[in-house]
């Protein structure tokens, strides 16, 4: 009889559309006595969809709005004064999500995707380091109240961001792995994240870099079995990033996340 090996499912985020006014008003009725706004609603909905996900992550690209607000010295996304951070709102989010699902991660855009510009420091490299360091401080504040880690959704591999931020508690998620510089990413990160259809890239990348974990995006059960030819099952995860129709998306992914041997 074949043995079924369950593969962990990891979320890299779940996008949530802006609700209608009646939807938001109805949800707020159940939030009396708690601090809540539109972003809180979207965080809650992003997590609600991830039933059965082994490593859930509240948030997505939309959560960048909250982090933009946490950076001080900015005017319309331009640094015009002494930089700083105010972690109050993100810590409140962290406590809210941890009360709903202990150990959940948070997902948000990487620093280069926030669209910040400099009119104060006068040096591009120092400005990038300042923003990345602010990210690190905000992430620590959230981890201090129980957040397990952070997913940074990225459109490009930025070496300054990777050097300051990449680690076991901050994972960069390449939104478009086909065009992303995975080689640069793997110099700083041990997680190799690939679409299930690009398994043929795995042997070469594993030969060049020390890969700690292989995460296949939206795989079928057959894809996971094929991946087990390259890595032990305990190094393998099924990854997901939902941009629409999220309730069914996560259920289908969880149902497919196994290998039969």
Percent of the chain surpassing pLDDT 70: 99
What backbone torsions phi and psi does residue 128 show, to the nearest 5 degrees? -60, -40
pLDDT for residue 59 is more than 70? yes
Q: pLDDT-based confidence at 69, cuts 50/70/90?
A: very high
Question: What does the pLDDT average to over 81-104?
Answer: 95
Q: pLDDT-based confidence at 32, cuts 50/70/90?
A: confident
pLDDT at position 1, please? 56
Q: pLDDT-based confidence at 24, cuts 50/70/90?
A: confident
pLDDT at position 229, please? 86
Q: What is the pLDDT of residues 181-192, one digit of tens each?
A: 999 999 999 999
Query: Do 230 and 243 meet the contact criterion of CB atoms below 8 Å apart?
Result: no
Q: What is the pLDDT of residues 246-257, one digit of tens each?
A: 778 999 999 999
pLDDT for residue 217 is more than 90? yes
Nearest-CA neighbor of 198 among 221, 172, 226, 170? 226
What's the residue count for the chain?
A: 261
Q: What is the pLDDT of residues 110-132, one digit of tens each?
A: 999 999 999 999 999 999 999 99
Q: pLDDT-based confidence at 27, cuts 50/70/90?
A: confident
d(CA 31, CA 34): 6
pLDDT for residue 35 is more than 90? no
Cα radius of gyration (the chain):
19
Question: What does the pLDDT average to over 104-108?
Answer: 98
Within the chain, strands assigned E span 4-6, 9-14, 57-59, 71-75, 78-85, 105-109, 117-118, 150-154, 170-174, 191-195, 213-217, 236-242, 258-260
Helix axes 88-100 and 38-48, enclosed angle (nearest 10): 30
d(CA 174, CA 95): 27
Q: What is the pLDDT of residues 203-214, one digit of tens each?
A: 999 999 999 999
Percent of the chain surpassing pLDDT 90: 80
pLDDT at position 143, please? 97
pLDDT at position 2, please? 67
Q: What is the pLDDT of residues 137-166, one digit of tens each?
A: 999 999 999 999 999 999 999 999 999 999
């Amino acid at each position: 009889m074949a043995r079924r090996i369950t593969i962990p499912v990891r979320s890299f985020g779940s996008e949530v559309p802006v609700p209608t006014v009646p939807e938001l008003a109805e949800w707020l009725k159940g939030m009396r006595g708690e601090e809540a706004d539109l972003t809180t609603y979207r965080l809650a909905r992003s997590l609600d969809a991830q039933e059965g996900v082994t490593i859930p992550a509240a948030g997505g690209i939309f959560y960048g709005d909250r982090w933009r607000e946490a950076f001080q010295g900015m005017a319309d996304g331009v640094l015009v004064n002494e930089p700083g951070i105010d972690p109050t709102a993100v810590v409140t989010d962290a406590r809210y999500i941890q009360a709903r699902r202990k150990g959940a991660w948070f997902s948000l855009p990487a620093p280069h995707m926030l669209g910040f510009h400099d009119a104060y420091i006068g040096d591009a490299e120092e400005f990038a380091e300042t923003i990345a360091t602010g990210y690190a401080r905000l992430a620590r504040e959230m981890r201090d109240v129980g957040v397990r880690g952070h997913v940074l959704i990225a459109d490009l591999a930025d070496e300054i961001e990777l050097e300051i931020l990449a680690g076991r508690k901050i994972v960069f998620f390449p939104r478009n792995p086909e065009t992303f510089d995975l080689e640069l990413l793997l110099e700083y990160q041990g997680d190799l994240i690939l679409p299930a259809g690009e398994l043929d890239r795995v042997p070469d990348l594993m030969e060049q870099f020390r890969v700690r974990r292989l995460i296949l995006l939206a795989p079928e059960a057959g894809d996971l079995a094929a991946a087990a030819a390259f890595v032990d099952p305990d190094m393998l995860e099924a990854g997901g990033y939902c941009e629409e129709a999220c309730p069914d998306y996560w259920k289908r992914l969880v149902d497919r996340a196994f290998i039969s041997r």
